[in-house]
Structure formats: structure tokens, C-alpha cells
Amino acid sequence: MTYSLAGAEQALLAKRDNLNLRWYPRYHLAARAGWMNDPNGLVWFDGWYHAFYQHHPYSTQWGPMHWGHARSKDLLHWEHLPVALAPEGPADKDGCFSGSAVVDGDTLALIYTGHKFHGDATDEANLYQVQCLATSRDGIHFERHGMVLDTPPGLHHFRDPKVWREGDAWYMVVGARDGETGHVRLYRSDDLREWQDAGVLDEAEKALGFMWECPDFFTLGDKRVLMFSPQGIAAQGYSNRNLFQSGYILGQWQPGQPFVRETEFIELDHGHDFYAPQSLLTPDGRRIVIGWLDMWESPLPEQQDGWAGMLSLPREVSLSADNRVQMRPAREVETLRGVWMPWPVTRLENQQITLPENDDALEVLLRWECGNSSAEQYGVSLGEGLRVYVDAQMQRLVLARHYPQYGLCGMRSVPVDINASLELRLFFDSSSVEVFVNDGEACLSSRIYPDADKRALALFAWSGSACVIEAGAWPLA
């Protein structure tokens, strides 16, 4: 099949009126139709935030990757734009894989991976991934410049470039696989077109994965953050429970110097669905991260509805006093709030209370006094499929989903101090929940699939009592 931008637009136009919108997000970015995965090219350019994303417009299955495109003034209200890239050149004939965007004077530049096979596509020895460039003056229509960086000798998996400007040079990190070892390679350029190899920035050790995807490298406070998505990490206890993870390593780096690690790999999000996060800088200097709110090889029930995949809420990241990356909903999210609806609940005594609000789009605020609660479990539920609760015996906050009809059951959790107060901000959309713990201490994000008549919210406490300091919700416009 021959791919083109015009063909992609025709496919989307033909599909848009046949979508089932029961689980389509109200305030998260999703494709007009078809498949979506990794966010790409998050950038502020010419008065707009731009979000590109991995996209297959021809079906709800992963396929030859295109770059979908949307723009926004506030990171929340997105305007869909024409598909930006299609696999239509010799360097990217089998897919325009993930990458990034930078502003070069009055030009928006996309740097992405061209995915191609030289021969039989079932033989990985024929796989080559190269880095390509496309530019635009209007932020909508792009001129393709082809390959600017070839596959290093001996490698086949070499993808997901993230580019930034530092001093008088451009730098680029690229994820790669060397045998069974994942690593991130570093490059330098004066013009985005000619790149010099600056060596391996960091690589896996102690079973830290066979491939490091979607690297990002930025500064928070006085630290450098290497954010990436390693493949091939084994689960250990409560950690690394998803098929693939996303997280970071903190350290020190200066141009021309090696990266010096100061921490181990730390997961960013502890829910079922968060992958391939990418960051951008806002005009006022905040570092914002957005991820793919899904997980590879996990059931996606919305595929039967004509679409698949969505992006997370924009999250502002900062560094805590004990040098951990914290994520909070970007302040723009608060502009979606309607009228505050307090819930007149102060104590639950071995009971469940159904709440009046059942809108698809809600921000819920819950503050529990854990030290004054004796219940074994207490928290909030949505219908029969989702519970977010404190397990006092485990001393953990648990997100448990139960949708056996779709093959989506299981729990994720983070530790909590059961002798202190606990604040939760929960963002419910048609098919997702994102839970922010104690103003950035932790985050759990998961896809959910409730039936329309099974979205009732309830507070509960079992085998004892639970003290509620504050509870309520804002409907989100």
C-alpha cells in the first residue's frame, strides 16, 4: 500500500461519522479516528502548543506510523490539524516513528525516526532506523528533508530522537538496543542537519532492560533528568508491574562531559497505563510532561468503536527536597472546573455512601485523616469496576480495576503513611482515571471501561471507620 497525507485525511474523513463515543475522552487528546500511541513533538511555536502523536489513520490497530497533529492555546482544548507526516519517502517507507520538535528561528523542525526494511520485513537483520528532518514555517505544512543521521554500525533498533538547544549547539538523545542491552546515545549539531556522535550517554545495567525507548533529557533544579521507557525489566514486588515501564534517573551532566548517575531508575507513574512520556517547556518556564495513557499488549476495548489510544493530562514536573520527580496536574487544568460540589461526609462507619454526581468528566478531591481511621479499607469506587482505596494492613493506596468482560483486571499501588492525612485528586474521564497523591508525591493512571449506567461514585469504609477531612467534586467542562 502506498501512503500519503491526502490518503490519511480521506481515511479519517470516512471514519469520523461512524465512531462510537461511549468511551471517547471528554478532555483528553485522542485521534479523530484510528490508532494513537506515543506523544511526539510537544512544543510551543508561534502562539500555540503543538502535540504530534504516533498515528495509524487507516485502522484501530497499530500499523505503518504517521504523525497525527493537534494544537492548543491551553494544553486542554485541542484543534485537530491535518496529518503532518506519512511514510512516503525512502528513509521512512515503513513508518514515521517517534521523535521531537524544536523551534529554530521562525521554523518548526520535526526530528523523527524513519523506520524501514531493506528486504524481508520478517527478518530483523533487514531493519534500519534512521533519524529524519521535516520543517515548517506555518506549523501545519511540512517540507521533508529525509535522513540526517544513519543507523550506527551493528545496530538495528535506534529510535525516538529528542532534540534540545544548549549554548551554541543542538543536542539529541536517541534510544537504542545493542544486543540485550538498552542504552541512550548522544549527538551534537550546529544546524540540525549534520550530526556528530558524542558517545553513549547511559546504558542499562542490573537487568535494566534490553531497549530504552523514548528518551528525554532535561534540567530540573540543579539536576539532569534522563527520562525513558525501558523494555525488559522484570517485576519485583510492587514495582515494575506493567509490561513496559516509564521512569527516570537523576544525575549531573555538562556538554562534553559524561553523565554521572545519582539515583537508580525510578518509575514515574504507578498505574496500569502510562508510557512514552515526553516533556516540553512552556513560555513561562514550566516543564510539562504528557504520556500515552495506554500500555502495549493490553486489551483496548475502544478499538471496536473506531478509535484507540489517548494522551494523559499535561503534568507539571518539579524536584522535591529529597530529589524525586513530582508530577502535578498542570495549572491550566483548573480552568475546566465548574461549580464545586461538596460532599457532606465526615465519617464512614463500616458503610458505603452513593454520591449524587455521575458525570463522565469530574475532578474529585478527597482528604482522609488516616491517623484517625480504623477501617481496614476505605476509599472511593466508580461503578463495579474501579476502586481507589487505602489498605491499612498493606499500608498502601490501591487502584483496583475489574472489567473481566474486557480482560482488564488487577491492581497497582503506592505506599502511604497511615498515621498522616492523605490528599487525593482524581480525574475521571469517559475511559480513564488519573490519581495524584499528596500534591505530587505519586501518581496512578489507568484506563477504565464502565457501562453508561454503572458510573455511580461511592465512598466506603469496611471493617472500621474512616475520617473524612474534605470531599467533593468539580464537573469538568
Q: Which residues belong to the active site?
A: 38
Distances (CA, A) of 252 to 223, 225, 281, 325, 434: 6, 8, 20, 15, 31
CA distances to 75, 95, 286 from 363, rounded to whole Å, are 17, 38, 22
Q: Which residues are within 8 A (CB) of 13 and not within 5 positions of it... i.e. 6 or more apart? A: none
Question: What angle (nearest 5°) sits at the alpha carbon of residue 437, between those of residues 467 and 230?
Answer: 150
Give the integer Cα–Cα distance in Å for 248 and 88.
34
What is the rounded distance in angstroms from the CA atom of residue 366 to the CA atom of residue 389? Answer: 11
> Phi/psi at 448 (nearest 5 deg)?
-135, 155
**At residue 205, what is the residue type?**
E
Per-residue CA distances from 424 to 124, 390, 449, 458 (Å): 46, 11, 21, 15
**Contact (Cβ atoms closer than 8 angstroms) between residue 31 and residue 55:** yes
Alpha-carbon torsion, ordered 447, 448, 449, 454, to 10 deg: -160
Is residue 346 left, alpha or beta, with left meaning phi > 0 and alpha meaning psi from -120 to 50?
Answer: alpha
Q: Which three cell numbers stand for residue 463?
A: 471493617
